[in-house]
Amino acid sequence: MSKFEFPPSIKSRPTYGTLEPRNGTAHLFIADAQGAQAVIDVCQKDPSIAKFAHIIFIPKGEDELAEDLAELGAAQLYVGPTYEAAISRIRHVLRDAKMGLQIYLAGSEGLMGQAQNEAVNAGYPHTAIQSEHRGSTARRMQCVHCKGITEDVETDPFVCAHCGLNLFVRDHYSRRLAAFQGVCIDAEDHGNVPEQKGIYE
């Protein structure tokens, strides 16, 4: 399955790489859906990691990949129904973690952004966290007006799920909110809302 090529963009827009094995005393993987394949790939690059690995996976329908992950022989594997359900586990693991931990994120931007935040809040520098994008290109969008976050946005413009304003999609991204910015599209001409297109069309 080929990876999506994000078009070049502004400096605040996150870019992703390819997961590589790194020296460390423990390895934490957090992934959703097709991100599992990136986890499998890096563990195959260095099979010695698995012994010290804790994998947290949200399948979102990719149950076969969950089975493949189970075969890696990780020290701990958690397959959970949603990211929200996994949060308390993630926070506990980070709270008890020691320096020497390597963190690997893979899958959708929304999952990676939120998991990265948990790590940063626990004291881990964001520049040391590896991330690889796989699968969905839907965005988490924050409405700059009401501050509500609308999940899984794929069209531009879109309607804020909280306050109902029509918002256009910006590439300006906040690491802290793990979301892109949505701004009212018809503020200067009320009611003039362009037709919805795919964000990457």
Q: Which residues bind another protein (CB under 8 A)?
A: 10-13, 22-25, 94-95, 97-102, 122-125, 127-128, 142, 144-145, 147, 165, 170-172, 174-177, 181, 183-184, 187-190
Dihedral sign, CA of 49, 60, 132, 148? negative
Nearer to another protein, 38 or 160 (CB): 160
- Min dist. Cβ of residue 181 to another protein (A): 6
Nearer to another protein, 39 or 49 (CB): 49
Shortest distance, position 138 Cβ to another protein, whole Å: 20
CB 1 within 8 A of CB 68: no
User: Which of residues 52 and 78 has its CB atom nearest to another protein in the complex?
Assistant: 52
> Is 66 or 183 the residue whose CB approaches another protein more closely?
183
> Cβ 62 to another protein, closest distance in Å?
29
Q: How far is the CB of 151 from another protein (least distance, A)?
A: 17
Closest CA to 137 of 153, 156, 113: 153
CA distance 122 to 90: 10
CA distances from 150 to 55, 137, 158 (A): 27, 14, 9
User: Could you give the angle at the alpha carbon of 28 between the alpha carbons of 131 and 181, nearest 5°?
Assistant: 40
